[in-house]
Structure 1
Amino acid sequence: MRFATSNTLVGLTEAWQRAAQPASLYATAEWLTCNESGVSEDSLRYVLDTSGPGATVVRKIQGGGFLGSDPLWLLFHPEGTETPAVEQGDLATAVSDLFPLAAAALPGSYLPGLLGGEAVKDWTPLLAALEETACDWSCPSTGVLNVPDGHPAVAALREYGYVPVPSFAQAVMTVKDQSLEDYVARFQRRGRVRRARVLREMRSFEQAGMKMLEVGLDDFDTTHAALHLRQLRRYGHDFSAEWLVELIQRSARYLGPWARMAVAERDGVPEAFTICYAHNSELHVKMSGFSEYAEMNSGYFYMIFYEVLAYAQRVGANRIEYGPLTYEAKVGRGCTLEPRTNFLKAPSGWNKPLADAAFAADRDWRSRLTEIERVWKSVE
């Protein structure tokens, strides 16, 4: 492999598309360029093979940040909830020694930053480039985050000394050719109570006096931002409305052709919204917001599931990706769960305690995901 490295994709778009072979929206040059804004030179690096397939996106991760950006998050939140368990033992002490972390991870997604798929026959040079980046940035640890089960690099990661640590699960709904009516009919098999609940949620929203609009991302303003901030603050995060508006306006410039924003208004005032991106027969639900009034009238379920499903059917999407958390609600409305794993290489002396803690956490975590799906499937 002959590598080219850069902290920006400017001038490298064609080479990137060839080396990364992006099948996902999150690996496109447009998505990555959109997310470059405000990132310092020592916090983002692209490494691409100039002679064939194979590329990586490396980010500096500080840990303890936004949900999903901390690769040890689930170890301290064993039930997958926002409230951490009591930190105990060596692992809690290790946190200060592990970060910052040089991580192969795609920004704004739950996918790894190792790209090229089955076309890459040897992942070793890319892993070596990742560790070289960690050295350049003075990062004591390296990682490849959010790796799906069955990813072609898993064997190489294990051979290279990386410890698997449980991450989140991606909630996915398979659409195929089902209409909204087909979707509701599926719940008939789950008993009258389940089907009645879905119909009640749809009716509650539709009778609440809200008007559905489809607008462009350019229409996103501080009123919509305030709805999303209500959700973020529940997780302990506080961004400014102006920052969110700038983010979505930037997304409009780079991602407009794939974007769709649906807004529910009452008397001309936004009460709820969702932002989705349609790409390669996949629909990605990326941002939403709800007023108290919308939540009281089943706004979450209507806007996130029923309205999105109707849109997915119109654009011919085969798959809707919802992201992590609120697993019971998502599985209960037709999603399946696809686990992700963070592969970490810690400083000398920490791999063993990390591996021990991760093994137990992964066993318990996967058991919980299986139980969530079992409970819902048992009523079909």
Structure 2
Amino acid sequence: MTPAALFTTRVYRSVDDLPLDRLEPLLASGTLYDSPAYLRYCEAASGGLLRHIILEDERGRTVGLVSLRVVRDDQVRRLYNLQALLDSPETDAKPAGETAPDSGTVPGFPPLFPNAIAAVPGAHCVLLTDPEADAALRSTQRGALARAAVELAEVEGCVATGFLYLDEDAAKDIADALGTDAPFLVAAQTELAGGWPDFEHYLATLSTSRRAMVRRERRQFAKGGITTRVLYGTQELNEATAQLQLRLLERYGVAGTVESILRDYAQLRATVEGQVRVFVCEQDGQPIGMSLGLVDGERLYMRLAGFDYSATDTRFTYFNAVYYEPILWGIEHGIKRYFFSTGTYDAKLARGCTPVPLYGVVQWPAPLRERAVLRLAAREASLRSELGLPE
């Protein structure tokens, strides 16, 4: 095993400064959310507050990468707000789209800003290690990256550092390296295994009652005269689609503006334009619902949605725009796995998704640690019950 002392770390403040040629073996082992293009989007969305740490071994080979966001205040997406983790579990029922800031301030807890979060939009932690190393060495590399991230956070003046949306093994490695409390369940990615030849074969994977439910939602959708256009890229996204997203946010009491959503469109256009697929549902020529996903080979990651709640049969529009229309498109275009992100688990599980547990590790300020552990335990129990996971 390589001693941690033999690792060297380097910090970069922009993806464009990273030695991407040396990182290629690591990036090739990752997903769309680890790609330079997506990290450029995350940098733009964060206002330039994303930091990247690479790990080199004693031979000078690049064997690790972690990305860390500095969070200055509560104007950040709820999924990346450490303060929000200490909120009561029932307040986590937010819309699937992660497009607006949400305070998470909890009475009785001191402010946790600035803090640092190793996570990016899409409920993903960019934490890559040498794909050719054995399990023990990769654990050591994760530990070295975690310690380097905490050191950088301290330099940035952060009062807490969190690593969110990890698999269980990675979370344990980080907790061991930092000497924190055990990892906690923070969310679940919802995955749907595809590869069916047609929609009927997808329906065959569901129970009889759920098949009937989906068929009813498809009939109501068609009866309402609603049609769907699939857009490649962001060029037709505009104030009308932004208004749909804003209405969804307002329905759940989440702050947002048309201007901030339009900025997000521009950031997507500048970075991952080729991966964007938009499903726009229209009635009488007017958009009444939409969802947006990102394609990565045979994978489709659904990212956000919006709806006109004054339109007829909006609830049928919702399920078709978010689930069935992307599935229908995916069947025709070779998608083998769908990712519907976190939250609103009942609807996703009812439509065939499997919950994949995601864990977190946080280095809390000492005065907060005991209370945080108790609050997170209650939050985890609630989440496990919702997901149908064992205690």
TM-score bucket (shorter structure): 0.7 to 0.9
**Paired residues of 1:227 and 1:272 also in contact (CA < 8 A):** yes
1:113 counterpart residue number: 126
TM-score, length of structure 2 as denominator length? 0.83
2:98 counterpart residue number: none
2:228 counterpart residue number: 212
**Paired residues of 2:33 and 2:126 also in contact (CA < 8 A):** no
Match among 172, 182, 187 for residue 201 of structure 2? 182
2:100 counterpart residue number: none
- Judged with a 3 Å threshold, the aligned counterparts in structure 2 of structure 1 residues 319 and 265 are, in CA distance, closer, same or farther, namely same
* Aligned mates of 1:336, 1:355 — CA distance in 2: 27
How much does 1:66 deviate? 2.6
Query: Within the alignment, does 1:128 sit opposite 2:147 as a pair?
Result: yes
* Aligned mates of 2:349, 2:147 — CA distance in 1: 39
Query: Within the alignment, does 1:2 sit opposite 2:8 as a pair?
Result: yes
How much does 1:270 deviate? 1.2
1:378 counterpart residue number: none
Match among 64, 67, 77 for residue 78 of structure 2? 67
Query: Within the alignment, does 1:202 sit opposite 2:218 as a pair?
Result: yes
- Judged with a 3 Å threshold, the aligned counterparts in structure 2 of structure 1 residues 271 and 38 are, in CA distance, closer, same or farther, namely closer
How much does 1:82 deviate? 4.0
How much does 1:22 deviate? 4.9
CA-to-aligned-CA distance 1:152-184 (integer Å, 9 cap, x gap): x52342342233343222111111335211122
Residue pairs, 1:333-372, within 5 angstroms? 333-370=351-388
1:376 counterpart residue number: none
* Aligned mates of 1:40, 1:208 — CA distance in 2: 42
**Paired residues of 2:247 and 2:307 also in contact (CA < 8 A):** yes
Query: Within the alignment, does 1:14 sit opposite 2:21 as a pair?
Result: yes
Match among 149, 155, 166 for residue 173 of structure 2? 155
**Paired residues of 2:45 and 2:264 also in contact (CA < 8 A):** no
2:51 counterpart residue number: 45
- Judged with a 3 Å threshold, the aligned counterparts in structure 2 of structure 1 residues 157 and 102 are, in CA distance, closer, same or farther, namely same
Match among 268, 290, 296 for residue 314 of structure 2? 296
How much does 1:52 deviate? 2.2
CA-to-aligned-CA distance 1:41-75 (integer Å, 9 cap, x gap): 5x321111352220110112345843212235354
Structure 1 residues not aligned, in runs of 5+: 374-380
* Aligned mates of 1:311, 1:274 — CA distance in 2: 13
2:101 counterpart residue number: none
Q: State, as a whole percentage, how many aligned pairs show the same letter.
A: 24
Matched pairs, number = 360
* Aligned mates of 2:87, 2:139 — CA distance in 1: 36
- Judged with a 3 Å threshold, the aligned counterparts in structure 2 of structure 1 residues 162 and 303 are, in CA distance, closer, same or farther, namely same
**Paired residues of 1:226 and 1:241 also in contact (CA < 8 A):** yes
**Paired residues of 2:88 and 2:379 also in contact (CA < 8 A):** no
Q: Which region of structure 1 is more displaced relative to structure 2, 49-58 or 238-247?
A: 238-247
Match among 151, 161, 165 for residue 142 of structure 1? 161
* Aligned mates of 1:11, 1:100 — CA distance in 2: 25
* Aligned mates of 2:313, 2:28 — CA distance in 1: 41
- Judged with a 3 Å threshold, the aligned counterparts in structure 2 of structure 1 residues 63 and 343 are, in CA distance, closer, same or farther, namely farther
TM-score, length of structure 1 as denominator length? 0.85
AA aligned to 2:128 is L
How much does 1:300 deviate? 0.8
- Judged with a 3 Å threshold, the aligned counterparts in structure 2 of structure 1 residues 363 and 196 are, in CA distance, closer, same or farther, namely closer
AA aligned to 1:229 is L
How much does 1:282 deviate? 1.5
**Paired residues of 1:47 and 1:57 also in contact (CA < 8 A):** yes
Query: Within the alignment, does 1:325 sit opposite 2:343 as a pair?
Result: yes
Q: Which region of structure 1 is more displaced relative to structure 2, 197-206 or 107-116?
A: 107-116
**Paired residues of 1:18 and 1:52 also in contact (CA < 8 A):** no
Dislocated runs of 4+, deviation >6 Å: none
2:109 counterpart residue number: 94
* Aligned mates of 1:322, 1:294 — CA distance in 2: 25
